[in-house]
Structure 1
Amino acid sequence: MAEASRTAPSPTNSVCVIGPQYCLPYPIEVGIVKKVMTISDGNFVVMDANGNILFKVRGALLTFVHERRVMVDATGNPIVTLRSKFRTVHDRWQVFRGESTEQNNMLFSAKTSSILYLKTKLHVFLVGNVTEDVCDFRVEGSWFDRSCVVYLGETSTVVAQMKKKHTVGSVLLGKDNYTVTVHPYVDYAFMVAIILILDEINHSGQ
């Protein structure tokens, strides 16, 4: 895994967290559809611009102290596991490779620094960032407007942007339909996982 630099992603300096196959040399736009009623496919489906399924998210598995979701590819192979810990001071999620929740398979963690006055701020720390003095990525924007930007660390370098998209399909098939534009050489699976965490955090209090 290449640690993120403070400079814009490039062919020799890509943002690769989950896997190099998700780092494309051109921008990619993905749609994240949140369903209202599901049976077995989970409550999120992630598609590319042509409507091809990239990822699905399995429904929550609840324990006494954790909530867990698994993001799988189109064929059902687990990509990452997202796990939150209940009753923490900050909403905090940990993301692990595959279906593991072992610390040696952790990829990154995320915690809120603010969800006040409809404004969202999420700090993301890669696993090698032990002190967490400075975040590796941050998300800022308005969740109410479904408009958020993912930045590289504390810089002004944008790596992805999210906006709400209203379509007939979103009205008929789901509650929300987000569009996420991921910049070149940025791990789009990683960006999707961050947006999914944002959704869970912002809906947990509703």
Structure 2
Amino acid sequence: MAAAKASTMPLISKLYCSSSQVVLVVRRRPHVVNGGGFVVTDCSQKVVFRVDGCGVLGIKGELVLKDGNGDALLLIRRKGGMVEALSVHKRWKGYTFGYEGSQKLVFTLKEPRSSCLVKNNAIRIATEPNGSSREWDFEIKGHFPDRNCSIIDSIGNIVAQIGVKKEVDELMASKDLYHVVVKPGIDQAFVFGVISVLDYIYGESTRC
């Protein structure tokens, strides 16, 4: 039991950290205006998460991750302003909601701009509090639009894989429907918070 607890990483909530590997399905929300978001279901087709995009929220550069009951878990915003304009990275910040409506920063995702000044074009994520000298804790490997990418930690361990089941069913190759495998102990809400940002970056279901 001690080993299982040590491997659990509840960034949003331990409710979303499973002791075993979990396979979830992402699909675009049907019959919704452009930028409506997507729904995440488990193997029994029960809704686990919903993501509202700018077509629902009416605000560009903002996303909300909700649980299956529709309660907000994460508010994700793209940082703007002059500092953002001068930076070589576009920054996204994910916040949890406190009991009294307060917001707590959970992660920062850096989206590199297309520039010769950027040596490493990797999308990287830092969690709060970091508690180490590292600038980042997770990195995206592969290409999200192809549904063939992974979220890896700073040691190189895969914590989540996107699109790994598509060879089983031709339908899984669709952009509108794909699998995500989340490794044991990893916070699934955090994983789908990251995926919602990737979805927006590449102009898919959450972006207007």
TM-score by length of 2: 0.75
Residues 45-60 of structure 1 aligned to structure 2 (within 5 Å): 45-60=39-54
CA contact 1:146–1:162 (8 Å) conserved in 2: yes
CA contact 1:93–1:111 (8 Å) conserved in 2: yes
**1:183 is matched with which residue?**
183
**2:94 is the alignment partner of 1:95:** yes
Q: Secondary structure at the match of 2:123?
A: strand
Q: Secondary structure at the match of 2:195?
A: helix
Q: Cα gap change, 1:44/1:132 in structure 2, threshold over 3 Å: closer, same or farther?
A: farther
CA contact 2:160–2:180 (8 Å) conserved in 1: yes
Between Structure 1 and Structure 2, how many residues are aligned? 188
The answer to which structure, 1 or 2, has the higher relative contact order (CA under 8 A, 6+ apart) is: 2
**1:23 is matched with which residue?**
17
**2:110 is matched with which residue?**
111
Deviation at 1:44, TM superposition (A): 0.8
Structure 1 gaps, min length 5: 1-8
**1:3 is matched with which residue?**
none
Q: Which has the higher helix share?
A: 2
Distance 1:160 1:170 in 2: 18
Deviation at 1:130, TM superposition (A): 8.4
2:96 maps to a residue whose letter is R
Q: Cα gap change, 1:37/1:85 in structure 2, threshold over 3 Å: closer, same or farther?
A: farther
Residues 57-136 of structure 1 aligned to structure 2 (within 5 Å): 57-60=51-54, 61=57, 67-86=61-80, 88=85, 89-98=88-97, 105-113=104-112, 121-129=122-130, 133-136=134-137
1:135 maps to a residue whose letter is W
Once the two structures are superposed, what CA deviation does each residue of 1:156-179 show, in whole Å capped at 9, x if it has no partner? 2111111174666997xxx52221
2:161 maps to a residue whose letter is Q
**Which shifted more, 105-114 or 124-133?**
124-133
Structure 2 gaps, min length 5: 116-120
Runs of 4+ in structure 1 off by over 4 angstroms are 130-133, 164-171
1:149 maps to a residue whose letter is S
Q: Please, what is the CA RMSD of the aligned residues?
A: 3.5
1:125 maps to a residue whose letter is A
Q: Secondary structure at the match of 1:193?
A: helix
TM-score by length of 1: 0.76
